[in-house]
Amino acid sequence: MKKEIKFSLVFRDMWQSAGKYVPRVDQLVKVAPAIIRMGCFDRVETNGGGFEQVNLLFGENPNKAVREWTRPFHEAGIQTHMLDRALNGLRMSPVPADVRKLFYKVKKAQGTDITRTFCGLNDVRNIIPSIDYAHAAGMISQCCLCITHSPVHTVDYYVNMAKQLIDAGCDEICLKDMAGIGRPVTLGKICAGIKAYKPDIIIQYHSHAGPGFNMASILEVCKNGCDYIDTAVAPLSWGTGHADIIAVQAMLKDAGFEVKEINIAAYMEVRSQIQEMMDDFLGFYCNPLNRLNNSLLIAPGLPGGMMGSLMADLETNLESINKWKVKHNQPELTQDDLLIKLFDEVAYIWPKLGYPCLVTPFSQYVKNLALMNVMQLEKGKERWSMIADDIWDMILGKAGKLPGEVAPEIVALAKEQGRVFMTGDPQSNYPDELDKYRQLMKEKGWETGQDDEELFEYAMHPSQYEAYKSGKAKENFLADLQKKREEQHQGPAAAPAELPKTLTLTLNGQRYQVEVAYGADAAAAAPAQATVAPATPAGEGEDIAAPLEGKFYRVKNAQETPKNVGDAVQKGDIIGYIEAMKTYNAIRAEFDGVITAIVVNSGDSVEEDDVIMKIARK
């Protein structure tokens, strides 16, 4: 009897691997029937990971999107699955246990069947609680082995990890080859080892095509017992994305496996709709280089799902570096120059950081640190001179145990800065927060939503949710899209409302900027957003400049109290954050003093060296 191989369409990851944004809910609902008519998919990845945050970034409610997007697949008998970052939930930083529990309840109610849980450190302590949370919510728990290639990531390492997860009660195992650098023979041995331990465990293989191994890897895992294969469809297949369903199906059919046939007419319809989505606006955020396979990706091992945002980040940082170089009469870099420098730096620092698996959020941490190092070195400064707190948390063990050892130079730097390494349960570092967010929503007059889904969204993504509720996220997105359209001479996007969004008032000699909302927007806006926020008030003191380009935030979660004009600060105090490349970079006071002015509003975009505050020395 032929071994049956089933297919999953990773629709969310296709977009994340190509660019910055995902389709709007109306586009998702429109394409779903054609995906179903293709007739070859038993599963579709509908949401999770970046999907939820990305909706907020362009002003769309992700809860509405998930409910409407999963519904047609359920009606067709197709399972839906989503990505879950274990300790980090759906974001880049760790999540309290009560928010993680609510996460599963909400996503099950919204229509998600399977959670694909992974930890970028492969620390089973972070994954195992999710098994119980999933089961309590009535979901299937699929646990991941994050695949990479290093001296510490051996066949035995992965098989033993799978055994621990199976013993803890997971329903399925996913070989998450997020960079596509797993070697085919090694992957086959891992798959065979897992099946030898538990023959009836379902195994799903997820791989990106970019480095060039993945078709061979798919065949090898199928020969060794794999049950499901993740695939994509054109024009978002191959490159930093995933193998196309047509090629995978033909290869496995020829190899003697039982596979479902593909309705090619429906495939072409899906392909056409994806192209329409790209022509509409999503193509502005898809770098052409992400459409190409590139074996240079083997050395840095960066994941396909990150390459979409990486190329956008490179454009921004290249501009920043070249501004500095022009100012200092140095030759400018090309994007290829910067890309190779980044790849080389990732390969250099990865062993020094203890070989974290290069998958969200740790791939971003390693990439961000590498890029910061490159930027500092290009500007004549020292390597390791700017390490974000989230990256330190990874290094120190606060987010879990690193697979390898941290290099002595990093240990020495931690000691010099008074930082302490940790070995306890990572979850214990992050106390429950739901009650605080529930109270905040009550104070703001916000509804917690059906099945507490709005409460969940706020607790999971505080800053992005506030920007969404105030309308700032959509306003920023439309402005950025308009700029991109004008740059490509395709005509301006629909302009935002002409009514003023801000007013500048003078009170007792101080200038304040007040955000203004109208109609439904006013009802949705948080009272905290409507309160006066200082904007370039008259004040003595020294300029505090943004250390890099990004979005300025006064706080990053509800635990913190924002600094205000008149507050005394000491050297080293956090006075705000720059959110760049999905990481919050703390801005610290460089001397003791008093804040005399806050020049920008929370959520505003800033460029490197823009003045954000003034502080008068004591």
* Residue pLDDT, tens place only, 277-299: 999 999 998 888 778 888 878 87
Domain extent listing, the chain: 6-285, 295-428, 532-617
Q: Which of left, alpha, beta for 391 (phi over 0: left; psi -120 to 50: alpha)?
A: alpha
357-374 residues labelled b (16+ CB within 10 A) or e (exposed):
bbbbbbbbbbbbbbbbbb
Burial of 428 (0-12, 13-18, 19+ CB in 10 A): exposed
- The one-letter amino acid code at 2 reads K
pLDDT per residue over 181-219, tens digit each? Answer: 999 999 999 999 999 999 999 999 999 999 999 999 999
pLDDT per residue over 125-177, tens digit each? Answer: 999 999 999 999 999 999 999 999 999 999 999 999 999 999 999 999 999 99
Which residue's structure tokens are 């660019």?
19
pLDDT per residue over 424-437, tens digit each? Answer: 999 998 999 999 99
Residue 318, C-beta contacts closer than 8 angstroms, at least 6 positions apart = 333, 335, 338
If you average pLDDT over residues 331-352, what whole number do you get? Answer: 89
**Percent of the chain clearing pLDDT 70 (strictly above):** 89
What pLDDT score was predicted for residue 371? 86
Report the alpha-carbon distance of residue 244 to residue 264 in Å, rounded: 13
What pLDDT score was predicted for residue 524? 44
Closest CA to 535 of 566, 562, 561, 503: 503
133-147 residues labelled b (16+ CB within 10 A) or e (exposed):
bbeebebbbbbbbbb
Per-residue pLDDT at 308 exceeds 90: no
Residues of the chain by 3-state class (helix, strand, coil), percent to 5: 45, 15, 35
Element (H, E) at 316: helix 304-327
What pLDDT score was predicted for residue 309? 63
What pLDDT score was predicted for residue 558? 66
> Where would I find the H helices in 397-543?
408-416, 434-444, 453-460, 462-470, 472-487, 519-524, 527-530
What pLDDT score was predicted for residue 459? 96
SS3 assignment, position 286: strand
What pLDDT score was predicted for residue 165? 98
Is 615 in contact with 541 (CB distance < 8 Å)?
Answer: yes
What pLDDT score was predicted for residue 534? 43
Report the alpha-carbon distance of residue 602 to residue 556 in Å, rounded: 10
Looking at residue 295, what DSSP letter applies?
G
Claim: this prediction has a pTM higher than 0.85: no
Name residue 43's beta-bridge partners: 8, 79
What pLDDT score was predicted for residue 531? 39
Query: Which tops the pLDDT comparison, 401 or 539?
Result: 401
Is 579 in contact with 604 (CB distance < 8 Å)?
Answer: no
Q: Give the end-to-end CA distance of the chain in Å, rounded to a whole number.
A: 81
Concatenated DSSP letters for 121-174? Answer: T--HHHHHHHHHHHHHHT-EEEEEEE---STT--HHHHHHHHHHHHHTT-SEEE
Per-residue confidence at 488, pLDDT binned at 50, 70, 90? confident
Q: Which CATH architecture has domain 532-617?
A: Beta Barrel (2.40)
What pLDDT score was predicted for residue 516? 52
The CATH classification of domain 6-285, taken from the options 3.40.50.11740, 3.20.20.70, 3.40.47.10, 3.40.50.1820: 3.20.20.70
Question: Could you tell me the CA-to-CA distances from 166 to 171, 174, 196 in Å, in that order?
Answer: 7, 12, 12
If you average pLDDT over residues 85-102, what whole number do you get? Answer: 93
Report the alpha-carbon distance of residue 121 to residue 357 in Å, rounded: 6
